[in-house]
């Protein structure tokens, strides 16, 4: 299998230049001007287009239970959607409740769900939903199998949330193993008591979800995590940071030497809490946690991305149907399955509202949508850049494309789009996974099951 991409404008996190890329044996083997290829090589003319490294979504849910129902995507549908949208590697959260099977069983279960079914490459964040000696031993073995990041929840008390004692020992183990800990930061007790109060007052619609976990509740969770991380000199990554208050807590901790990185979701950059206030329960489509923020936060985070104070842009992709699933929360917003499907749209939304609008430059776009995730989670330089020896995960991007987002044409297996009718400027023309063309002009043309687990070594000692 050989591939030659000619005449494209190559963009990485640090440079831009025009050159050809030759790929063989699943890797990039040559970069230069006027390269030649064997007669049977696949040739893609990228003149007038950008060539980006394959994009990485650092925060995805594919298999996700919620109150007796499950997210709608399979690894087949999710990976196809990812590839059409330019994402060639996903990092899935293994969400395993406190009282479920051993952590090792949860990892093996998730691996079997993905292997042989995913068209894109994948890896996992291993959730630590409880901590004892048995869990410590199992986590150590999971890291040896190539998983170098944990996920913890400082929310969802009694389900996924951990105690302060468990937080202490989880971060201590992470430091010992060289693992980075990703964290959902909200104060679990404040959320729970606020939910009770609002429901008792008859405030049951989706518009009240925001007020059950306002910005200060998230910021307190970040502050709490930073205190524990500083105690162990542990490395932490704050997922779905949505408000200025939380960002300030993370930046203040970083200024005093705490090893912390932050993630923004593309939804927070383009949507705001007014969408969850739409009438006739339409707002339920936009319920996620932390909630969509006040609109004033958008410019804060675009500025932070531009200055590279925020490291990554993810999705927290969690596809639940509006009919029959989101509707579970009619009369009680706490029962609305949380999440906005966005895996397929992340790259195009970020390019349209970021690059095309002049908010971020091309290299920053690549950095926050691919390179930083690769660096933080042990994938770099195999993923996240264009270099000889890197995997041939490439996105030939057409900046001149004009179209609209529609549920009718998307590959995500869900009955609505949060961005229905939104115009996009630019989309992937050709997407490759390890040298094989997997998507072309909005169509999946790859191989289901070709995606594989990308094993990662710990790097956060």
- Residue-wise pLDDT for 17-61, tens only, equals 999 999 999 999 999 999 999 999 999 999 999 999 999 999 999
Given a cut of 80, whether residue 155 has pLDDT beyond it is: yes
Lowest model confidence (mean pLDDT) among 151-160, 279-288, 341-350: 151-160
- Residue-wise pLDDT for 430-450, tens only, equals 999 999 999 999 999 999 999
**If pLDDT is split at 50, 70 and 90, which confidence band does 1 have?**
confident
pTM exceeds 0.85 for this model: yes
Look up the CATH number of domain 2-52+386-444. Answer: 2.30.40.10
The closest alpha carbon to 16, from 355, 312, 349, belongs to 355
- Residue-wise pLDDT for 243-264, tens only, equals 999 999 999 999 999 999 999 9
Q: Pinpoint the residues of the chain covered by CATH 3.20.20.140.
A: 54-376
Over range 418-422, report the average pLDDT.
98
Cα→Cα distances 62→199, 327, 339, 414, 448, Å: 30, 20, 11, 12, 16
Counting residues of the chain whose pLDDT is more than 70, the rounded percentage is: 100
Q: Pinpoint the residues of the chain covered by CATH 2.30.40.10.
A: 2-52+386-444
132-148 residues labelled b (16+ CB within 10 A) or e (exposed) = eeebbebbeebbeeebb
CATH fit for domain 54-376, picks 3.20.20.140, 3.40.50.2300, 1.10.760.10, 3.30.2450.30: 3.20.20.140
pLDDT at site 401: 98
Given a cut of 90, whether residue 98 has pLDDT beyond it is: no
Q: How far apart are CA 35 and CA 20, in angstroms?
A: 6
Residue 375's CB: how many other CB atoms inside 10 A? 20
Pairing label, strands 55-60, 87-94: parallel
CA angle, 268 as apex, 170 and 219 as ends, to 5°? 45
């Amino acid at each position: 299998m050989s591939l030659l991409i000619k005449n494209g404008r190559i963009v990485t996190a640090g440079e831009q230049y025009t050159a050809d890329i030759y790929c063989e044996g699943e890797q990039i083997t040559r970069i230069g001007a006027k390269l030649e290829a064997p007669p049977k090589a696949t040739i893609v003319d990228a003149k007038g287009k950008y060539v980006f490294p394959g994009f990485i979504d650092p925060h995805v849910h594919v298999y996700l239970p919620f109150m007796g129902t499950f997210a709608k995507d399979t690894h087949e549908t999710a990976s196809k959607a990812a590839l059409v949208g330019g994402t060639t590697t996903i990092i899935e959260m293994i969400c395993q409740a406190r009282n479920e099977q051993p952590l090792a069983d949860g990892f093996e279960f998730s691996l079997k769900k993905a292997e042989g079914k995913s068209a894109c490459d994948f890896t996992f964040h291993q959730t630590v939903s409880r901590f004892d000696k048995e869990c410590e031993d199992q986590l150590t073995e999971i890291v040896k199998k190539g998983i170098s990041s944990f996920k913890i929840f400082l929310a969802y008390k009694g389900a996924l949330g951990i105690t302060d004692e468990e937080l202490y020992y989880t971060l201590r183990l992470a430091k010992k193993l060289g693992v980075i800990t990703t964290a959902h930061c909200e104060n679990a007790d404040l959320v729970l008591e606020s939910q009770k109060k609002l429901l008792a007052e008859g405030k049951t619609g989706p518009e009240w979800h925001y007020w059950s976990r306002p910005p200060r509740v998230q910021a307190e969770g970040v502050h709490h995590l930073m205190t524990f991380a500083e105690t162990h000199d542990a490395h932490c990554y704050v997922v779905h940071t949505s408000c200025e208050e939380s960002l300030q807590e993370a930046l203040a901790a970083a200024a005093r030497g705490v090893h912390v990185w932050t993630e923004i979701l593309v939804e927070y950059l383009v949507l705001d809490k007014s969408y969850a206030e739409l009438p006739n329960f339409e707002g339920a489509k936009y319920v996620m946690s932390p909630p969509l923020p006040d609109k004033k936060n958008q410019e804060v985070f675009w500025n932070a991305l531009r200055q590279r104070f925020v490291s990554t842009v993810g999705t927290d992709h969690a596809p639940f149907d509006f009919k029959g699933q989101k509707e579970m929360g009619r009369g009680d917003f706490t029962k609305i399955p949380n999440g906005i499907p966005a895996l397929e749209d992340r790259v195009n939304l970020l390019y349209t509202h970021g690059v095309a609008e002049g908010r971020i430059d091309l290299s920053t776009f690549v950095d926050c949508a691919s390179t930083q995730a690769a660096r933080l989670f042990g994938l770099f330089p195999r993923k996240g850049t264009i270099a000889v020896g890197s995997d041939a995960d490439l996105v030939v991007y057409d900046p001149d494309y004009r179209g609209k987002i529609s549920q009718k044409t998307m590959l995500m297996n869900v009955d609505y789009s949060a961005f229905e009718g939104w115009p996009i400027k630019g989309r992937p023309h050709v997407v490759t996974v390890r040298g094989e063309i997997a998507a072309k002009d909005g169509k999946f043309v790859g191989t289901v099951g070709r995606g594989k687990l990308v094993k990662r070594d710990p790097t956060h000692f």
